[in-house]
Amino acid sequence: MKQEFRTKITDMLGIEHPILMGGMQWISRAEFVAEVCNAGCTGFITAETFESDQDLRTEIRKMRTLTDKPFGINISMLPEIGDLQDRTLRFLDVVCEEGIPFVETAGRKPDLLMGPLKEAGIKVIHKLTSIRHALSAQKVGVDAVTMLGFGSGGHVGMDNVSNFILIPQAVRRLNIPVIVGGGIADGRGLLGALAMGAEAVLLGTAFFATEESPVHRNIKDKIVDARETDTSLIMSSIKNPMRCVHNRLVDEVLEMEAKGATLQEILSAVAGGKGRLGYDSGDMETTPIVCGQVAGLIDEIKPAARLVEEIISDAKELQQRLSRMAV
């Protein structure tokens, strides 16, 4: 499919389409990410999926046998992962040694990572949820930011600001490219993001529910069947809210939080590889199924390449429609 939208991000990353797949723990592995890259977009292998830095190195080398397109690595520093600075730095060494062109960072300000990444010539896209944190990230030298609106799946921050407010603010106040995350599954979302001044979009839930996604079919069907009102935020009591499909585990965690559960008690209920077990087994009730409100727009499990093609073609058609409306 030919390039229809050229932006600062497509030029920066060397990709055809301004669409990125965010790093998703347990499932953003070589085979899946390669499908997205081969469709003209790009994605991020998630470092924290792997037991060791050498496992990550092996995955990177496998990836290069599956695609000749550029891809990145996600390095997340989140509470449920733990305070594992040494482990993170070992992953960082692999990223630099393997010549990865760009990374996605999340969870904390990436200041500790910036020196080695910049020295290695690696572009840094920091994923966050607020303007103040975006300004802070810009100060430490990141090359772009992904702004996650309140309706996003996963960690949505504490500000509760929707994309229609968050993105114009970010574009106005930042000097670096802005990527939109959350609420995007079709051409309307892409064109809307570009119209607000963003340079690309980041999709999580929409790719999560594609044919090539390695999660169990039961989980994908759960996303397809979910309405925009079928997600809930857990872990708000520890100031790290995470949006998931509402299921029995969510009810249990919310009850724990209402009773004043500690940080460790809450993390023990959602961490420890429970997501991986559920994604493999198809258990929809005891797994934290990360999902955005955009599930309400997803009504079919389709190949990743077809998803991308439809997003681009629909956005182009909408762009032409808007041009015809101009007077």
Query: Taking a C-beta distance cutoff of 8 angstroms, is the pair 21, 210 a contact?
Result: no
Q: What is the CATH number of domain 8-215+299-317?
A: 3.20.20.70
To the nearest whole number, what is the mean pLDDT of the chain? 94
Share of the chain above pLDDT 90, in %: 85
**Could you tell me which residues are beta bridge partners of residue 104?**
74, 125
**Average pLDDT over every residue of 59-63:** 98
Give dist(CA 291, CA 182) in Å, integer.
10
**DSSP per-residue codes, 239-287:** T--EEEE--HHHHHHHHHHHTT--HHHHHHHH-TTHHHHHHHH---SSS
Which pLDDT band holds residue 84 (cuts at 50, 70, 90)?
low
- Is a pLDDT exceeding 80 seen at residue 318? yes
Question: How confident is the model at residue 321, as a pLDDT?
Answer: 95
Residue 272, Ramachandran bin (φ over 0: left; ψ between -120 and 50: alpha; else beta): left
- Cβ atoms within 10 Å of 257's Cβ, excluding its own: 17
- Is a pLDDT exceeding 90 seen at residue 268? no
- Is a pLDDT exceeding 60 seen at residue 81? no
- Is a pLDDT exceeding 60 seen at residue 97? yes
Question: How confident is the model at residue 80, as a pLDDT?
Answer: 47
Which tokens go with 255? 């009850």
**Average pLDDT over every residue of 72-84:** 71
Q: Looking at the chain, list the stretches that DSSP marks H as alpha helix, in order from N- to C-terminal side.
A: 8-13, 30-38, 53-66, 85-97, 111-119, 131-139, 163-173, 187-195, 205-208, 217-225, 248-258, 263-270, 274-281, 304-325
Which tokens go with 123? 């572009």
The reported pTM is 0.95
- Is a pLDDT exceeding 60 seen at residue 82? no
Which tokens go with 160? 């509760």
pLDDT in tens, 191-246: 999 999 999 999 999 999 999 999 999 999 999 999 999 999 999 999 989 999 99
Which has the minimum average pLDDT: 84-88, 109-113, 172-176, 177-181? 84-88
All structural domains of the chain with their residue ranges:
8-215+299-317, 217-293
Share of the chain above pLDDT 70, in %: 98
Q: Which has more pLDDT, 53 or 84?
A: 53
